[in-house]
Amino acid sequence: MNSLSEQLRASRWARMIAAEQMQRVEAEVFEQQCPAGTAVCRKGEPADAWIGVLEGLVKINAVSADGKSVTFTGVPAGGWLGEGSLLKNEPRRYDVVALRDSRIARMPRATFEWLLDSSIGFNRFLLEQLNERLGQFIGMVEYDRLLDTDARVARYLAEMFNPILYPGFSSQIRISQEELGYLTGISRQRVNQALQALDKLGLIRVGYAGIEILDAEQLRAFGSSPPGC
C-alpha cells in the first residue's frame, strides 16, 4: 500500500510546485477512509478542503427536490475535485459519494489558498483542470440530449481516459458494469448491451470486472457522428 506522501508526490499538481511548498502540503494534507456508499462531502456543507481520491472511486451528484439523483461525473483514484466551491468561497453545491471503499485526501482550505497565492504552477494546474471539466460538461449536455445510450457509454469510457483529469489511467479500466450504470445513469442491463455493441465494433474489449480501451479516438468520436452516417 502506498503511503499518503508518496501518492501526493505522484499527483500531477505536485510536480508543478516547488519542493519546499510540497513539504508544507505533505504536512497538512490528511487522509480519510470512506466505505462504499458513504458521503465524502454533502451539498450545503462549508467547503473546507480540496479533495483527492487516493484509492477507489467516487461520484459527484446532485439530488433534486423530488429525490431524483443525477450523476455528473465519476472521479477515480488520482483525481482531485472540489476546487470550484473553494475558489468561490461558497458551500458545496453537490454531493460526493464513494462508490467503492475509498481513501480520500483532504487539503485544508488554508493550504489550498496558500498554494494559490504562492505557486504559479499550481494555478496553471487548476486552470487546466477547470478547462477540461468545462469541456467535459459541455460535451455531456450534448450527449445527454442528442445521443443514444451506446454513444453515451462510449463517451463516458473515453472520458475515463482523460489524462488531464484522471492521470495515470492505463487502457485497462477496472470498473464493474454496475458501477458504470451508477455513473452514467443507465441501467446495468443497458450498460451491458452497450458494452457488447462497442466490443463488436472493436473499440473496447469487455472482460471480467473491467474494460480495456482499444481505440480511444473512435470512442470519443462515436458521439459526433451517430451510427449509420
Partner DNA sequence: TCATTAAATTGTT
Partner DNA sequence: AACAATTTAATGA
Cell of 141: 449536455
The dihedral sign for the CA sequence 49, 52, 57, 63: positive
**Residue 134 to residue 41: CA distance in whole angstroms:** 22
Please state the closest distance from residue 212 (CB atom) to DNA, in A: 12
DSSP three-state, residue 208: coil
33 contacts DNA (rule: CB under 7 A): no
Residue with cell 475535485: 81
Among 127, 163, 209, 212, binds DNA (CB under 7 A): 209
Cell of 196: 457488447
Contact of 62 with 94, CB cutoff 8 Å: yes
Alpha-carbon torsion, ordered 177, 216, 103, 36, to 10 deg = -10
- Judged by CB, which is closer to DNA: 41, or 195? 195
Among 32, 171, 189, 224, binds DNA (CB under 7 A): 189
172 contacts DNA (rule: CB under 7 A): no
User: Rounded to whole angstroms, what are the CA distances from 206 to 18, 48, 169, 173?
Assistant: 42, 40, 17, 10
Among 21, 73, 177, 184, binds DNA (CB under 7 A): 177
- Judged by CB, which is closer to DNA: 28, or 178? 178
Total site size for DNA, rule CB under 7 A: 13
Please state the closest distance from residue 206 (CB atom) to DNA, in A: 5
Please state the closest distance from residue 186 (CB atom) to DNA, in A: 13
Among 208, 225, 228, 229, binds DNA (CB under 7 A): 208
Among 42, 124, 188, 200, binds DNA (CB under 7 A): 188
**Binding residues vs DNA (CB under 7 A):** 176-178, 188-189, 192, 195-196, 206-210
